[in-house]
Every structure is written in structure tokens, then in C-alpha cells.
Structure 1
Amino acid sequence: MSVIYQYIEHVNGKVVKIDKREAYVLDNFYYFILPTGESEQAHLEREWLASYLEQQNYLRVAKPIKSINGSFVTQDQDKSYVCLQAMKHPYEIKNSETRLAEFHQVAIGYPYMPRFISVYGSWQSLWEDKLTLFEAYYQNQLDMRPVSRYQRLLVDTFPYLIGLTENAIQYVQEINHETRFTEMDQGCITFQRYTNQLDKPFIFSNEFIFDHPARDIAEYIRPLLFRKDGKQQIVEILQTYEKTSPLSVFGWELLYARLILPIHLFDFIDRSSNHFDKEETYLNYRQMLDNQLYYEEQLRTFFKDNKIDVFKNRIHQLDW
């Protein structure tokens, strides 16, 4: 926690652990020192988003603060860090999907378009870039010798990942001409990967990104797609979400497009890049691939399950 002295000159407090993160507690404020690879401008924009949410009574947001030297990002032993400051506040107990829908209702009111942390309207190009990077990674794996069981399985299944990604890119390309929007299809404060952060004691602004609300909805329900019994839960979640924040035709299509993209598999490959030889890596990847059977089945019936008439609404869906 020595980095804290770059933000607060005279520290006299205690270190506590909150949700696997260490925080320094001082005068009822919690200070989190987090590693970062992002620019000063990105953290400035997140400070603006966090301040806006505070004004809307989201008082649990941990927002970036400037160091004694006047910058958000500081250096220590050739590594970059940012400091987030927060206060604890009580918050109403409610179901997660209602909380997410209410957050989006507020977050969509942010009046500016961020420059450095916005990916709104950029899914196609971002996914094309991701595909290019992972295809290069795949070619590298082909040339490696010797290989572990995990690497061999990765090479064997990578064409499947590429095929799914190409489907997702094509789907987004097709809906780029969609005109059936509502006000909830504007850019919105969202999360890089939504995993129920709104249910936690603090909302960490370093995880903010500016995008369509469908981003968070997709990542919230994605884990249920792997489960044989997940279908009804997804239906109930989306029904509850729509009571507060109804989805347009475009919103449903974006949600579906993001679910087609195998982000969960790409994230796993990223996390496992230094664990080629571990048997646990192989077994976990094998299990994820096995669960794709449930995943594909739910995508196949996604609109029907949620009582969306694809013919009446002229919605495309995958036909596997």
C-alpha cells in the first residue's frame, strides 16, 4: 500500500479487505490502489461518470482521485496505479435485474459522449480486431512443439470459435441498418464485464465503459446459457428487467449478437495464456466446451423462449 502516500501525504488509518481488494480506511473514506494500463484521459472520463452517478444518488461509487502531483495515474517500481476513493452507504435490497435496469435508466442520462472509454457503435470493428489477434495466436499455437493437452484441444476447437465470432460480426453488420430504436438505445454507462457489481458494497468506476445497455444484460445472463436449467431463469430475468426498462427491437438484436460472440471462451484463453501445462486448465476448458451444447440450444430458441416473434418483428436468428 506504499502507493497511497502518492495520494495522501499523512496516512493514519488501517488496511481492510473488501471483496478480495485491499482498502485503506481514513476518515470514513475507503481508498483502493488498483493497477492500471489505461491513460490519464480514460481515468478523467471515469471520474466524470462517477461524479454524475453521485449526483444521481449512487453514493457507493469508488471514483478516481488525483495524486499529490496532480495526476490520476502514478508509477511505482515500473508499474502504473490509480487510486479510487469511496464512502460506504446503505442501499436498498432488491433483485439484481431490477437494480441493473434502474441503473441503466439513470446511466443513460449522462449528457456527454466519452472519447477514450466509449465503444458505443463499435462492436463490429472491435470484434474484427479481436478475431485478427486470436487468429494470429492460433497460428502461433500451431507452430509450437511440444504441446500440452490443453494446447492440442485449443488448436482443434479454434475453428469453432472463429466460426461463432464471424457469425456475431455478420449479425451486427446486418442490424447496423436497424431503425426501430427507443431512448434506451442511446450510449450508457456500463461495465466492461457485468458480474453483479451493483449488488456489491462499492461500485468501482475503473470497470466503467460507455456502451449500449445490452452489453451488461448479455454478460449478466451469459452464465445461465451454460446450464441445462438456465432457460427459465433467463426468461424471468428479462421479464423483470423490462418492467423497468423495456428493450426495443434493436436492443433485443444487440443482446442476441453479443451472446453469439464466445466472449467467455476468449476470456478463458486470455486468462490461461501462462498456464498451458496445467491439467486444471485443460479440464476447465473441456468443461466449457461441453457446456456449449446447452449454450447453442438456448441461442437457437432464444427469441421463442422470450416470446419474441421473429417473423412479425423481422428479426434474424441463427439457424444451426
Structure 2
Amino acid sequence: MKKTIYEEYGIKVQDLEKLGHYDSFRVHQSQFLIIPVMHLDEEELYELYHFSQYMEEKREPYVANIVLTKKNHMFFEKDKARYIIIKCSPYTQGRFTHIGRELARFHQKARTYPYQVSKMQRIGQWKILWEKRLDQLETFWRGKIHSQPLTKFEKMFAESFPYYLGLAENAIQYLVDTELDEEPQPIDSGTICHLRFHSATWNPEMCVKIPTDWVYDHGSRDIAEYLRHLFFENQEELSTNGFRFLDEYDRTTPLSAFSWRLIYSRLLFPIHYFECVENYYLSSEEDKAMFEETMREILLRSGEYELLLKSYSSMLSMKTKRILLPVIEWLS
């Protein structure tokens, strides 16, 4: 790896060390991370590169930048894998104490991003992406229920899928109704979001905002995923931290009725379940047990998750009298 980095970038690396999930090295006072990017093509990386350049111009703290190779390429290849090197901001000592406020400010700056986004664009595409994902998993499930014998995981999947299919269909319908009923406001324009935003996305050990975590979407994506993650990570914290997070965000950038409803439709869509099934079948044998355990926890807590979906609308009516969320009959 050191030899390849020297050939591609002309950077002499003394020592590689682990930082979070990534290999990293220091040169003079600068910290660099080596990030695998097999899931991203060159055009996607260019868009992410421009995102990070823009956010740095906007003086967003802790933003890392993609370093170009000597030949001005985005990435290098080694052992049939693709990697990029990112240079961390020189100021990485810090704490995100008011994460709702920080996220609202991040979204605020990124809403003024002036360039066309095509490859990393997700705004307005949820319905198509969700339907496609649902159809694929339903087809797969139909094949599984007729195959024998089933592993423990497959038995859980076979029995639970109809329930999550119903939940996903509710989410898609809710999204469609929201787009018909509500008028988007300026706050509903596209912004830079994260694939899955949660309490550790902005690394607490060393504050770094990594562009390969980003997509261009509606800000409600990050809000919903933060709440979902908090539910599975620490449900006790959800009632205090989750509501504080929403309150901080809403005070910094008041959310529209359209936003509140999008957050809800995203919470309704059981992405956590879908990802668990997909990851199980993509994982190596030794990792399968971990996803089996995750699936067991998701199923055990499905009733609690319904309570979260109920409490979201009641919390909203306490918070603001001007927004009434349509109720999903079977949940109420």
C-alpha cells in the first residue's frame, strides 16, 4: 500500500495506522484516510469531490477533501479494489454537542449548492427506489418460501416478510399522499445528506465529515435515519435525545409540514429490515450469525417500533398545532 501511494501520489508514507474503520497516515501536520470506494464510479466521485470543495468554501468545519493522484485521477486501484485518499481538515479536535443544530446548519449551507447533480441525486426518487427494492425482495421471498430446508434466518425472513411488505406499502402510499397534499417550501429544496446519518457519523474520536458518506437528497432523510438509528442503538435515549435533536433542528431551520410528513414516511419504510436481509445474503459465512442476531432483534422489537411511529405524530401535535399528520388506521 505504501509503495502504491508513493507511485500514484508521490507521497512518502512512514506508518499506516487504523483510525475508526479506515487505514490512515500522517504527513507533517496533516492526517489522511484511505477509503475503499468499490461502490462508487468515477462520475459519482467527481460529484462528491465538488460537494466537499463547495462545503469547504462555505467554511463548514471538519470537511475532508478528496486528494487527486499525480495524473489528476480520483482514485487508485490495488489488488482489484478501488480506493481514494482524503485529507482531513486540520481542525479535528472538537465535539458535536448540539447535533440537531449542527445538522440543520450543514443542510442550510448545502442547499445553496449551485451545480447540477445527476449521479448522486436521490431527491424525488424515493418512491421509485422503494418500489424497486420491495419488488426485488418480494420476488426473492416467493422463491425462498418454497425452498427447503430453511436456515434459522430464512425461517424468520419467510415468516416476517408479509408484515414488512405491508409496512413498506404504507410508507409508499404515505409518501405519495404527502406529495399530493403538501406544497414544498424553500426548506424542501435539495441538500447534501448522508447515506445513513447517526450519532457516530461525524466521528466522535476525531471530527471528520467524509464526502463518500454523502448523497444529494431532502434533509428529512438524515433526520429520519438519525431517529431510526437511535431507536435501535439506545431506545431509552430516544425519548430525550431524539426529541431534543428534532427540537434543535427545527429551531435552527423551521421544518415545513411537507418535511415532517417526509420524515414520517421514511420512518415507516422499514429500511433496517431490508438492509438486514440484503446484508445477510451478501455476507461471508462468518458474518451471517451477526445478521441473524440483528434480524432477531428487529423482530423482537417490532411492537416497540410501532410505538415509535405512534409517538411521532403525538409528539408533533404537542410541538406544533399547525401540522396534523394523517393517521395510519391500523397503527392508531
Same structural fold, with TM-score higher than 0.5 when normalized by the shorter chain: yes
The aligned residue for residue 164 of structure 2 is: 161
Q: Is the 8 A contact 1:190 1:212 kept in 2?
A: yes
TM-aligned CA distance change 1:25 to 1:165, over 3 Å: same
Question: 1:65: how far off?
Answer: 2.4
Question: 1:137: how far off?
Answer: 2.5
The aligned residue for residue 185 of structure 1 is: 188
The aligned residue for residue 50 of structure 2 is: 48
Q: Is the 8 A contact 1:185 1:213 kept in 2?
A: yes
Q: Is the 8 A contact 1:31 1:84 kept in 2?
A: yes
Question: 1:317: how far off?
Answer: 2.7
The aligned residue for residue 223 of structure 2 is: 217
Segment of structure 1 superposing worse, 149-158 or 193-202: 193-202
Question: 1:304: how far off?
Answer: 1.4
Q: Is the 8 A contact 1:97 1:240 kept in 2?
A: yes
Q: Tell me whether 1:100 sits opposite 2:103 in the alignment.
A: yes
Q: Is the 8 A contact 1:303 1:310 kept in 2?
A: no
The aligned residue for residue 256 of structure 2 is: 248
Percent identity, aligned pairs only, is 25
TM-aligned CA distance change 1:60 to 1:283, over 3 Å: closer
Structure 1 unaligned residues grouped into runs of 5+: none
Q: SS state of the match for residue 198, structure 1?
A: coil
Q: SS state of the match for residue 116, structure 2?
A: coil
Question: 1:32: how far off?
Answer: 2.1
Instruction: Give the aligned length.
Output: 320
Alignment map for 1:261-272 (pairs within 5 Å): 261-272=269-280
**Aligned-residue CA RMSD (Å):** 2.4
Q: Which of 152, 155, 161 is 1:152 aligned to?
A: 155
Q: Is the 8 A contact 1:300 1:318 kept in 2?
A: no
The aligned residue for residue 202 of structure 2 is: 198
The aligned residue for residue 231 of structure 1 is: 239
**Structure 1 residues 167-198: Cα deviation after superposition (integer angstroms, max 9, x where no partner):** 11111111122443332111001100002323
More helix as a share of residues: 2
The aligned residue for residue 66 of structure 2 is: 64
Question: 1:270: how far off?
Answer: 2.3
Structure 2 unaligned residues grouped into runs of 5+: none
* Alpha-carbon distance between aligned partners in 2 of 1:10 and 1:101, rounded to the nearest angstrom: 37
Q: Is the 8 A contact 1:107 1:189 kept in 2?
A: yes
Specify the code of the residue in structure 2 equivalent to 1:156. Answer: E
Alignment map for 1:81-96 (pairs within 5 Å): 81-89=83-91, 90-91=93-94, 93-96=96-99
User: TM-score with structure 1 length normalisation?
Assistant: 0.90
Q: SS state of the match for residue 7, structure 1?
A: helix
Q: SS state of the match for residue 301, structure 2?
A: helix
Q: SS state of the match for residue 278, structure 2?
A: helix
Question: 1:106: how far off?
Answer: 1.5
Question: 1:138: how far off?
Answer: 1.6
Q: Which of 261, 270, 292 is 2:302 aligned to?
A: 292
